[in-house]
Structure 1
Amino acid sequence: MKAVYKGRFRQFSLVTNYESHPGGRIWILSNPSTVQLTVLCKGTQFIHCSLLHIATQNRVLVTFIYALNRAIERIELWKTLQDLSVGKTLPWMCLGDFNVSLNSDERVGCVPHERGMQDFRDCLHYCGLSDHPYTGGLFTWHNKQMASPRISDHAPILLTIPSEGHLIKPFKYLNCWALSDGFQNLVSQYWTHGNLGGKIFSLFSKLRNMRKHFKQLDSTEFSGLTQRVTEAKSKLMDCQVALQLSPLSKPLLLQEKLPLDSYTKLKSAEIRVLFQRAKVQHLQQSDANTKYFYASIAVRNSRNTIGAITDAQGKHCLGQKEVAHAFLNYYKDLLGSTETRAAIP
């Protein structure tokens, strides 16, 4: 492995944990022209680092993990992560192979170890960590036992950190999804997954399992609502113009039903979305409330944006980053930044 590093990756900095484990279970390669990586501590199952992005001067904490196979051996790792979580003030990521899943449906081919999964969940809850959203396959590892008992295959991870101006929108349930003919069957089919753990964790798991299916439903039936409403209305008006010329035509009456049903469903969905975004009581305004809703949304957006603020020291803070730091520092002073927590037994 060292020969490979010297041959292909000489321009990168190398950090390992050979001093903590004879096999050197973790290798970290970093580009010194892009990031400055500082090792804070390391052990058999982890390397904990501070990572500075040189161009933006943004700093995060990253813990690279390769957990041991047995649940009892991972207890030490969970306690270490708990200790690292206390008093942290920087964004923190934990990446790698935890050798355990959060839920039984994230693993196939063997009997899941419930105690090991519960220890993992308890650790994440204590540390304030959550499973990062992802795209791609659910299963990221295969032991390739049919090929050779000593061959395994891990899928690589590509983590993208957005710039300051690009905010990740949180998942939001849209009331219009309930208008879909397949909504009830969709919920009934997938709501049964994620029943392990406590009630709050079980609810979180169910919602996480449903999220990708709701997004697919939205993309299939409710994407581009405004344009689809306009197109459906145009088709309906064409049919009604033809009916004006032949009002007793049964084929035209039957032909009108499909665009009418489509327009009614799409328009109802659009009103629900606008109503949900505007967060106002339903008022009987002209144009099916559309203009009123759009005006309400514009007002809410302007009210929910803080462009400038004066901090506790009297400094005038401008821009998203400075305003965020002002709020963060205020509540740190008010509430404190550390707390006493009990360790996992």
Structure 2
Amino acid sequence: MGEKLLELGQPINMPWIILGDFNCVKSPAEKQLGVPPTCDSNPVWCMLDRVLLNKEWLEVGLHCNAHFNPPGCLSDHSSGIVSILDLPAPMSKPFRFFNMWADHPDFIATVEHGWNLNVDGTPQFSLCKKLKALKGPLKAFNNLHFSHISVRAKEADLALHDAQLST
């Protein structure tokens, strides 16, 4: 079974998932008991229901969980429920514009450098690319000129206090 699925799935370069009753076990460990089912004996329980997916499913970040309900009476079939999870992406800090940047003498030059980027495409595409290109330089600009603002404010407050005491 496994070789045939690999053969079928190889040419497909996009995520796929298969679930259902495959009517075969992978190993003897997937069988329980050993008496064929009758009205007065225990049935043979086998794990036949599977959820299979390819590596592309995982590479694009699709996460899922498979839950199999207990098998029914005199049946080794379990209903399987696959939940596709919407896991939050690793949180990067959202971009924020600070009004104080506009008052800095180097702000216009930083923006012009990114804004003069030559981008081919529709006006909307060009706008998105230019804004994305500005994100990194503006974050660096913020780190260079405005990082640790609370420490700088405390230092300025102490300097003010010292200046007031010295006069």
Considering Cα pairs closer than 8 Å and 6+ residues apart, tell me whether 1 or 2 has the greater RCO.
2
Provide TM-score, normalisation by structure 1. 0.25
Provide TM-score, normalisation by structure 2. 0.49
